[in-house]
Chains A and B, each alone.
Chain A
Amino acid sequence: MAGGLVIVGASLAGLRAAQAARAAGYEGELTIVGAERHRPYTRPPLSKDLLAGIDDVDACMFPADEVDVTWRLGERATALDTTAKRVDLEGAESIEYHRLVLATGCRARPWTGPGKELEGLHTLRDLDDALALQRALAPKPKLAVIGAGFIGCEVAASARKLGIDVTLVDIAPLPMPGLGETLGARCADMHREYGVDLRLGTGIAALHGDAGGRLAEVELSDGSRVEAQVAVIALGAIPNTEWLEGSGLTLEPGVLCDATLTARGADDVFAAGDIAAWPHPLAPDAPIRIEHWTNAAEQGTLAGRNAVAGAAERKEHTSVPSFWSDQYDVKIQAVGLPRLAERVHMAEAAPDGDRFVAVGERDGTVIAAYGWNGARRLPLYRRHIAAGASADEVLAAVREDSKAFGAPVAA
């Protein structure tokens, strides 16, 4: 077995793939290639407790020493040849594989408009990004956060904890787009209550610098201008798949796989985490790709296990996705596929409004549930989603449920 198992990507999915392969009894060569110089670390704290100074770097590192792996860190994969079964590396010798797991994740989408060269612009994806942003925030500059999705909202919340003036901008009418109006409106109110200057429904026209080339002002597309010495560009993520062009793999909307995470067109190549596109039972029309922590953990494990199993023993990835965002003292969570929901119904809410669960419906079926401090209720909804329950069925069951938070006020 020349080359053994090679995993490209040394983050959560790559680490879990290695651990799962070993746990399944694989004793051959196992190499993890990672572009970053760091051992695997967990990313959720980067925009939350690490940025707010509650956690330090050590708290983010995964315990990975016990895994029997050859680490090739600080080495970037540049090409894949699926016929020669070889991965080319930048500035180093190529590696041959018997089985390959692709887990190169995403990178932050940069600002490419006017002012892109200014000092003071940050994105947040890697540990080094988080440490650079932490240093930039230490003198308490005025901060503009561009994009009010998961990362943007979390950065805004963490910066407010640090006492920093924050302007949060998004072209969408509400923050956390994709999680429905109910949750988005609640999230907007919360950021305003905590003192964020929230500018919605407006994009960015340009970033302007001072004479020294440092960011000074953000010009919004509504014509207004906001003073800022630091900006966090939180415009979403781009899958790191360019290096796979020419490999013969299909790369839209990510590395296209079957349900066992085996890449289409290469029976000994697997993908996991942010870059994997696969057919999910909840999304019959097209393969999906999910950029969330739990998906990377689950898919990494499955890809690692499948990579060392016989072709007939490969298992399918069908679990109902789940993800979360911590902002101030609120835990926002979702299960299912919120982006595919056509309508959102409030299912239950505490009388004081501090907790609620809403459900997303598609073709009469519940395809997602959204929790606002609703963690203890979501397992029930997740089971309903997995079972393909109808919205009427779920809403009726919740009305009868004595453990529900309470009847929603006018859905």
Chain B
Amino acid sequence: MSTIKVHVDMNLCQSHGECVFAAPDVFELGDDDVLKWEEEVDASKRAELEEAVNVCPMLAISLEG
């Protein structure tokens, strides 16, 4: 099963949470508002991952694979 690697530049992330709207199974804001995410995601979730990249106001998210 192919996977996609998800990178988030935490120097850029400002915890807007737009990626959580786009891909709630992958991204989550913790109790301290710091972003948590799955680093390897099944390729079947490509569309929502691309949407998360698209709506991140800080352009902090990139995908590999």
- A contact set with B: CB distance below 8 Å: 16, 23, 42, 44, 62-63, 293-294, 297-298, 301, 320, 322, 324, 326, 331, 333, 335, 373, 375-376, 378-379, 382-383
Q: Once the chains are docked, how many angstroms separate the CA of A23 from the CA of B51?
A: 12
Which of B15, B20, B31 sits near A331, CB closer than 8 Å? B15
- In the complex, which residues of chain A have a beta carbon less than 8 angstroms from the beta carbon of B54? 16, 297-298, 301
With contacts A16-B54, A297-B54, A301-B54 taken as known, whether A62 is within 8 angstroms of B59 at the C-beta atoms is yes
Chain B contact residue count (CB 8 A cutoff): 18
User: Chain B at the A interface: mostly helix, strand, loop or mixed?
Assistant: loop
**A324 touching B20 in the complex, CB below 8 Å, given contacts A63-B59, A298-B54:** no
B interface residues (Cβ-Cβ under 8 A, vs A): 14-18, 20-21, 24, 28-31, 33, 50, 54-55, 57, 59
Complex: how many Å from CA A16 to CA B28?
Answer: 25
B17, B24, B28, B59, most chain A CB atoms within 10 A = B17
Q: State A320–B22 Cα separation when bound (angstroms).
A: 11
A331 contacts which chain B residues (CB < 8 A)? 14-16
Q: Are A294 and B57 in contact (CB under 8 A)?
A: yes
Complex CA–CA separation, A378 to B24 (angstroms): 11
Apart from the given pairs A44-B57, A320-B21, 9 other A-B contacts in the complex at a CB distance below 8 Å:
A42-B59, A297-B55, A333-B16, A335-B21, A375-B29, A376-B15, A376-B17, A379-B21, A382-B21
Contact partners of A320 in chain B: CB under 8 A: 21
Chain B nearest Cβ from A322, distance in angstroms: 6
Main secondary structure of the interface of A (DSSP, over half): helix
CB < 8 Å neighbour of B57 from A293, A379, A382: A293
Residue of B nearest to A12 (CB): B57
- What residues of A have a CB within 8 angstroms of the CB of B31 in the complex? 376
Is B17 in contact with A379, judged by CB distance below 8 angstroms?
yes
Nearest CB in chain B to that of A375: its residue: B17
A-side contacts of B29, CB under 8 Å: 375-376
A335 / chain B contacts, CB cutoff of 8 Å: 21
In angstroms, Cα B20 to Cα A301, docked, is 18
Q: How far is the CB of B36 from chain A (nearest CB, A)?
A: 10
Cβ-neighbour of A294 out of B18, B30, B50, B59 (below 8 A): B18
- CB contacts (< 8 Å) of B55 on chain A: these are 294, 297-298
